[in-house]
Amino acid sequence: MSKLKTKTLHDKMAERGLARIMAAHSPLSARLAEEAGFDGLWASGFELSALYGLPDVSVITMSEHLQMMRAIAERTSLPIVADIDTGFGNAVNVHYAIGQYEAAGASAVVIEDKTFPKVTSLVAGGRQELLRIEEFQGKLEAAANARKDPDFLIIARNEALIAGLGEEEALRRAAAYEEAGADMILIHSKRKTPDEVESFVRNWNGTAPIVIVPTAYPQMTESRAKSLKKIRMLIYGNHGIRAAVTAMQKLFAQIIAEGGIEKADREIVSVEEIFRLQNMGGVKEKEGKYLR
């Protein structure tokens, strides 16, 4: 099954020119992304941390992330791009993690070039420390050697722009990461406009395709990304959890304000819709067949 998912991810990038990947923090959010028509899922560390009400600073463990990854993989047929942060330690830990994530059903991993423990990328004034290039190359080599399926993607996440080191350093790192065996380069930016990423992409003359996460610069539409030619994957990094928070904040406030659910009940999906998403129909079918 996961071999099929890995192939699907490659096919989507080839067919559409750009794979659209939506963040998932639960099997339910993964199912909703699949029904909406996304090409794959982002097992986001930020979303999972937020789900636990925790900051995205390497507090969530590999086991917790893997457990959710497995639950998501069981409930959806979409390929999963796993966010493994800094790889949970050094290159030896990365080697071990790749085996775990591949077995759990991921089709790709993103490993970032920050030191452990990391600080989430988009926070203003965040402590952003990068590994030495050689050390990160060792992690990428370990990842590439550890995978069993050669189509399992190793995506190197380049945080040079996030750390304020400039485009030249970002390009230098991207070239070194490609040389170490990265299949794709994720270039991250917290600039409020796409210009920083667009300039990087135009000046990137390696062969590894580019991945972007345009949370900070939402003007970067899919067609704008495609027009740059080298971007093959666009990750919507946290829109599921933000949509859930928006909806819950609004509804919970309404119930308190109105002193009941009479009006609010008409503004949310029915219980029957949740039954559908839980596949209660399958329970009825099994009851009919096996309960005597």
| DSSP string over the chain | -HHHHHHHHHHHHHHHSSEEEEEESSHHHHHHHHHHT-SEEEE-HHHHHHHTT--SSS-S-HHHHHHHHHHHHHH--S-EEEE-TT-SSSHHHHHHHHHHHHHHT-SEEEEE-BPSSP--TTSTT----BPPHHHHHHHHHHHHHH-SSTTSEEEEEE-TTTTT-HHHHHHHHHHHHHHTT-SEEEE----SSTHHHHHHHHH--SSS-EEE-TTS-TT--HHHHHHTSSEEEEEE-SHHHHHHHHHHHHHHHHHHHHTSSTTGGGGS--HHHHHHHHTHHHHHHHHHHH--
Nearer to ligand SPV, 220 or 254 (CB): 220
Q: Does 38 bind ligand SPV (CB under 6 A)?
A: no
Q: Does 196 bind Mg ion (CB under 5 A)?
A: no
Q: Does 120 bind ligand SPV (CB under 6 A)?
A: yes
| Residue 149 falls in the annotated catalytic set | no
Nearer to Mg ion, 78 or 111 (CB): 111
Segment contacting ligand SPV by CB under 6 A, of 44-52, 239-247, 259-267, 280-288 = 44-52
Q: Does 238 bind ligand SPV (CB under 6 A)?
A: yes
Q: Does 209 bind ligand SPV (CB under 6 A)?
A: no
Q: What does the per-residue mask of binding to Mg ion show for 27-46, with x meaning CB under 5 A?
A: ------------------xx
Q: Does 196 bind ligand SPV (CB under 6 A)?
A: no
The only residue of 81, 155, 213, 241 in contact with ligand SPV, by rule CB under 6 A: 213
Q: According to CB under 6 A, which residues from 134 to 173 bind ligand SPV? A: none
Exactly one of 39, 56, 113, 183 is catalytic; name it.
56
Q: Which does 241 bind (CB under 5 to 8 A by kind): Mg ion, ligand SPV, none?
A: none
Q: Does 45 bind ligand SPV (CB under 6 A)?
A: yes
* Interacting residues toward ligand SPV by CB under 6 A: 23, 44-47, 56, 83, 120-122, 213, 215, 237-238
Q: Please list the active-site residues.
A: 56
* Interacting residues toward Mg ion by CB under 5 A: 45-46, 83
